[in-house]
Amino acid sequence: MVQFSYFHLMPHPYLEQAPDWPVPHKLFDPERAHADYEQYVDQMALAEELGFDWVGCNEHHYTPYGLMSNPALIGAALTQRTRRIRIAMLGALLPLNNPVRVAEEYAMLDVMSGGRLIAGLIRGIPNEYIAYGVDPSESWERFEEAIDLVIRAWTEPEPFGWEGKHYQFRTVSIWPRPLQQPHPPLLFSGGSVESAAFAARKRAKIGVVQLISLEHAKENLDVYRQTARELGWEPPASNLLIGMHTHVARTDAEARETLGRGEDYFYRVLSSATQHANELVVHGSNYYRTAEARERRITRRAAHKHLSIDDRIEQGTILCGSPDTVVRQIERVVKELGIGVIQTGFKIGSIPNEKVVESMRLFSREVLPHVRDL
């Protein structure tokens, strides 16, 4: 069985050209953003009606790329607009925030939603470290310590203190605590072999959301599975998630046209803003703990940005086409990677909201029924 997540970046797609990061917020249009937030939340509520299994969003700072400085606020909105769908925070940038507060917010969401939270805890892409003034060289250490602290904050029955390297609390006793026992399922990003192995060690779900190529994803997912087995457990397919930009239209050509323009805007304008800042951080710190990891990221990402829509379709990293075509694309990716959750992103770049919704409806009617039981 394959599950489908409806993911939203909540972009602000009105700039003409690629700005540098951080982007001056005089370029932000609050009225349009208000309308967008309403539509975006409506889209996520619609995802439940249309049969998606999860709905998800994430955290970014200082950029039109995504307007959720704290995804938990959107999570809270979703607790009021949905009843059954899993609410996936993908997620708090843990090393940048107070881990106890993250634990508290997630606990609130889990209880408010009746136990539907998927607790993604994310290390954060390099530029976010500039945003909050945290040393990126410490990101792994902080991340690991904070995860331990979050889990304890959720599960310790008695108040406790935490004397950590990066975090110190004399006493912690969060109210509320989560509904799901022992705690909401964890999900970590698996964009590198290091992070994939880490996710397996922590028995978390793994998400490869920047899909550069199917082989790259397979490499990481294999490391995840292998590491898990060495540690004595077999991850179910539902532990493995990949993220794919998605557009379904009546014909392949129409879909390529729409998503092609969306991808162009997405890469050329929205995500290029962070590129310079990311490079500063990656070159100027030990955000990546090994030189290989650093090099891999830089070369792979550089190549990936400039692909055409046809390249991406051929590589199998996006879902784009008529319903039949998309069904086959999903079959391919499930077969090659063995994943159990596909995270779809429909609002890509500047694709108009009406087209996003049309595409969602088509997906629900004519794709979902044929791929659920893969």
Partner 1 sequence: MSQPPLVFSFFHLMAWPYLEQPPAAWPVAHRLFDPRRGPRLYGEYLDQMALADELGFDWVGCNEHHYTSYGLMASPTVIGGALTQRTRRAKIAMLGSLVPLNNPVRVAEEYAMLDVMSGGRLVAGFIRGLPQEYIAYGVDPDESYERLAEAWDLILRAWTEPEPFGWEGKHYRFRTVSIWPRPLQEPHPPIFISGGSSDSVRLAVERRVGIGVALASAEIARAQFDSYRALARAAGWEPTRDLFFWDQAVHVAKTDVAAREAFRGPTDYFYRYLLVPTRRANELVIQGGYYHDPADRERRLQRVRQRETVTLESEIEQGRALCGSPDTVVEQIRRWVPYVGHGVLNVRFQVGTMPHDEVVASMRLFATEVLPHVRDL
Partner 2 sequence: MPQQEEGRVTAGDCAIAWHAAGDGPLLAYLHGAGGLRWGRALDGFAERFRVVAFDIPGFGGSTLGDSVQSIPDAADALAAAMEQVAHGERMHLMGTSLGGRTAAWLAVRHPQRVDRLVLESPAAFRPPDAPPLSSFPPDELRRRLYGNPEQAPPTDDPAVRQQQFQVMARLTKGVGWDSELEARLGEIEAPTLVLFGTQDGLIPPEMGRIYKERIPQAFLTYVYQAAHAIQWDRPDAFVDLVSDFLERGEAFVVPRAKATAG
Residue 289 binding partner 2, by CB under 8 A: no
Length of the chain as a residue count:
374
The amino acid occupying position 91 is G
CB atoms inside a 10 Å sphere around CB 6 = 28
Window 120 to 179, contacts with partner 2 (CB under 8 A): 145, 148-149, 152, 156-165, 167, 170-171
- Taking contact as CB under 8 A, which single stretch among the options 96-104, 245-253, 310-318, 355-363 is the one that binds partner 1? 96-104
Q: Tell me the Ramachandran region of residue 267: left when phi exceeds 0, alpha when psi lies from -120 to 50, beta otherwise.
A: alpha
Helix (H) or strand (E) holding 86: strand 86-93
Q: Binds 24, which of partner 1, partner 2, none (CB < 5 to 8 A, cut-off by type)? A: partner 1
- Taking contact as CB under 8 A, which single stretch among the options 49-57, 108-116, 253-261, 289-297 is the one that binds partner 1? 108-116
Q: How far is the CB of 105 from partner 2 (least distance, A)?
A: 21
Q: Binds 232, which of partner 2, partner 1, none (CB < 5 to 8 A, cut-off by type)? A: none
Of these, 5, 43, 58, 79, which contacts partner 1 (CB under 8 A)? 79
Q: Binds 152, which of partner 1, partner 2, none (CB < 5 to 8 A, cut-off by type)? A: partner 2
Q: What residues have CB less than 8 Å from 355, skipping those under 6 apart?
A: 258
Helix (H) or strand (E) holding 242: strand 240-248
CB atoms inside a 10 Å sphere around CB 234 = 8
Of these, 62, 143, 224, 346, which contacts partner 1 (CB under 8 A)? 62
Of these, 3, 15, 18, 22, which contacts partner 1 (CB under 8 A)? 22
Residue 336 binding partner 2, by CB under 8 A: no
- Taking contact as CB under 8 A, which single stretch among the options 83-91, 153-161, 243-251, 286-294 is the one that binds partner 1? 153-161
Q: At what angle do helices 99-112 and 139-155 cross, to 10 degrees?
A: 50
Window 170 to 229, contacts with partner 2 (CB under 8 A): 170-171
Q: Binds 328, which of partner 1, partner 2, none (CB < 5 to 8 A, cut-off by type)? A: none
Residue 132 binding partner 1, by CB under 8 A: yes
Residue 188: strand, helix, or coil: strand
Nearer to partner 2, 123 or 297 (CB): 123
Window 252 to 271, contacts with partner 2 (CB under 8 A): none
How many whole angstroms separate alpha carbon 146 and alpha carbon 134? 14
Residue 310: strand, helix, or coil: helix
Q: How far is the CB of 152 from partner 2 (least distance, A)?
A: 7
Scored b (16 or more CB within 10 A) or e, 314-353 reads: ebbbbbbbbbebbbebbeebbeebebbbbbbbbbbbbbee
Read off the DSSP letter of residue 26. G
* Tokens describing residue 90: 């993908």
Query: Between the CA of residue 263 and those of 21, 105, 257, 350, what are the distances in Å?
Result: 19, 33, 10, 9
- Taking contact as CB under 8 A, which single stretch among the options 27-35, 261-269, 299-307, 363-371 is the one that binds partner 1? 27-35
How many whole angstroms separate alpha carbon 311 and alpha carbon 314? 5
Q: Binds 148, which of partner 1, partner 2, none (CB < 5 to 8 A, cut-off by type)? A: partner 2
Q: How far is the CB of 160 from partner 1 (least distance, A)?
A: 10
Contact predicate 154/180, CB 8 Å? no
Q: How far is the CB of 45 from partner 2 (least distance, A)?
A: 40
* Site residues for partner 1 per CB under 8 A: 12, 22-26, 28, 30-31, 33-34, 37-38, 41, 61-64, 67-70, 72-77, 79-81, 97-98, 100-101, 104-105, 107-115, 130-133, 157-159, 168-179
Q: Which residues would be at the binding site for partner 2 (CB under 8 A)?
A: 145, 148-149, 152, 156-165, 167, 170-171
